[in-house]
Amino acid sequence: MHSYTEENYLKTLFNLANEKGEVSPNELSKRLAIKMPTVNSMMKKLAEKKLVHYESYKPLRLTEKGKREAALVIRKHRLTEMFLVQKMGFGWEQVHEIAEQIEHLHSPYFFEKMDEMIGYPTIDPHGSPIPDKTGKIDGVHYEKLSDCKIGDTVKLAAVIHSTDEFLKFLNSRELHLGLKIKIKVVEKFDGSMVVAYNKNNAESLSHMVSERLLVEKL
Amino acid sequence: MHSYTEENYLKTLFNLANEKGEVSPNELSKRLAIKMPTVNSMMKKLAEKKLVHYESYKPLRLTEKGKREAALVIRKHRLTEMFLVQKMGFGWEQVHEIAEQIEHLHSPYFFEKMDEMIGYPTIDPHGSPIPDKTGKIDGVHYEKLSDCKIGDTVKLAAVIHSTDEFLKFLNSRELHLGLKIKIKVVEKFDGSMVVAYNKNNAESLSHMVSERLLVEKL
DNA sequence: ATAATAACTTAGATGAATCTAACAAATATA
DNA sequence: TATATTTGTTAGATTCATCTAAGTTATTAT
């Protein structure tokens, strides 16, 4: 088994790789808020354990084993988030912090039971895919709302880079997963959009917002 | 806030003090499975933090602050156990290990929500009292079944020193909290008892068992 | 193309929590 | 009471995860 700390490095490497492709020590350092030399020596340690491919001055890459281990931590995180929302009544903006801690528990029964209670979901409350028990994870193919065109009608499928603040903002606009959205206007100069959904007939969304919303074309 | 490790020392000191009154470094060392010199230096550290009264060659005592902190960890442990049993369907023999990990989470909302969902209980699934939010805990006054006499009718109120094994044994005999038990025979030579409960009219319980069962006289 | 900046690495220190070895004090035993 | 045993303490080493300072390599900008 890996330490709490190692699990956090693995998970973060995995997430960064999914967001940006290649991962540099510098990015990892920033994301973890841990200084570079520390990250550096941890990478050597994880390389020893065959979890990371590490070569000086080259981007970091998880090995297959590293990916699997990371995915299993992420699985626990996302199952937990789903449980907290569905069975305990938390809002989607509240669950990340709690899941961040619970993901490190070592208790197969506990996660097994949560999974069962919430009906073996494949996505979490923010629309991110939940890896299966072997660490396999769906490659998702949604597109950013910001990449859609006037006239498109789309379904809100996932939210990325979702901080508390951002999720609370979405709550206040009644923007939740599954929602049907129609694009009415796209402003050239700032990329903002005017969209229609629910009873709101002309809600304006900044580019900052629309690029964090993943949608499925209908 | 205290570290995971410190919390474990505090909790264990509290539990040992409740079981045996005075706590020696040696006992603490054995219970934690941590060598004496390590315990010794941790006691000095906790004394610095005003959580423990420490003097060379004297028994260890928690300060009031130490007791409160310990009780708050124990509160989280016991609330968790109750939640696991009542809301997740675990058996009382399965919950200790999981609660042992969850008790260290730092998330008031999470424990608040569990507490609410299970209706603010004052005892855990093994009959132990749950400290309140300020760290106050009921002094319990049950007596051991092994101290009762022939003819007594009692209600099973709590189980102490409860390992998996012991709890599974109790399951197999259908001995659960709240059960009415009548003492029919007490054997002089080995302290074993013959008791009646449910439909069982003459179940024999060894002294090992009866001294771990706490009861209320009826 | 060279200088400036940013990214990365190495070396060495720190603090937390653990250990073993050796010694000292208290307790039990002969 | 004297000795043996158990309990407790001190000293010093180890491992993990972190840091700062200083040097090296790569990238960017002039």
Best mutation target among B105, B106, B111 (most A Cβ atoms within 10 Å) is B105
Mean pLDDT for the stretch of residues A127-138: 96
Q: How confident is the model at residue B141, as a pLDDT?
A: 87
Handedness of CA A201, A206, A207, A208 (dihedral sign): negative
Dump pLDDT digits (tens) for B44-90.
999 999 999 999 999 999 999 999 999 999 999 999 999 999 999 99
Alpha helices in A21-107 (DSSP H): 25-32, 36-48, 64-86, 95-102
Pairwise CA distance, residues A90 & A83, whole Å: 9
pLDDT at B36: 98
Average pLDDT for A26-40: 98
The whole-model pTM stands at: 0.93
Residue B200 scores a pLDDT above 90: no
Q: Does residue A20 register a pLDDT over 90?
A: no
Chain mean pLDDT for chain B: 96
pLDDT at B98: 98
Return the pLDDT at A69.
97
Cβ contacts of B101 on chain A, cutoff 8 Å? 105-107
Specify the range with the lowest mean pLDDT, choosing from A54-58, A93-97, B137-141, B206-210. B137-141
What is the tens place of the pLDDT at every residue in B131-186? 999 999 988 889 999 999 999 999 999 999 999 999 999 999 999 999 999 999 99
Angle between helices A36-48 and A4-20 (to 10 degrees): 100
Point out the residue among A89, A98, A110 whose CB comes nearest to the CB of B98. A110
Residue A140 has pLDDT above 90, yes or no: no
Report whether pLDDT(B21) > 90.
Answer: no
Q: Which two tokens stand for residue B18?
A: 């409740």
Give exposure, B122-144, as e/b (b: 16+ Cβ within 10 Å): ebbbbbbbbbeeebebeeeebee
- CA–CA distance, A52 with B52 (Å, rounded to integer): 44
pLDDT 10s digits, B111-121: 999 999 999 99
Query: Which pLDDT value is given to residue A196?
Result: 96
In which band, very low, low, confident or very high, does the pLDDT at B103 lie, cut at 50, 70 and 90?
A: very high
Provide mean pLDDT across the span A132-150.
Answer: 93
Number of Cβ within 10 Å of residue B199's Cβ equals: 6
DSSP state of B147: G
The first and second tokens of residue A80, run together, are 């937990």
Give the Å distances, CA to CA, from B179 to A31, A162, B68, B144. 55, 51, 32, 15
How much is the pLDDT for B186?
A: 95
**B75 CA to D1 C1' distance (Å):** 52
Indicate which of A95, A105, A164 best probes the interface with B, i.e. most B CBs within 10 Å of its own CB. Answer: A105
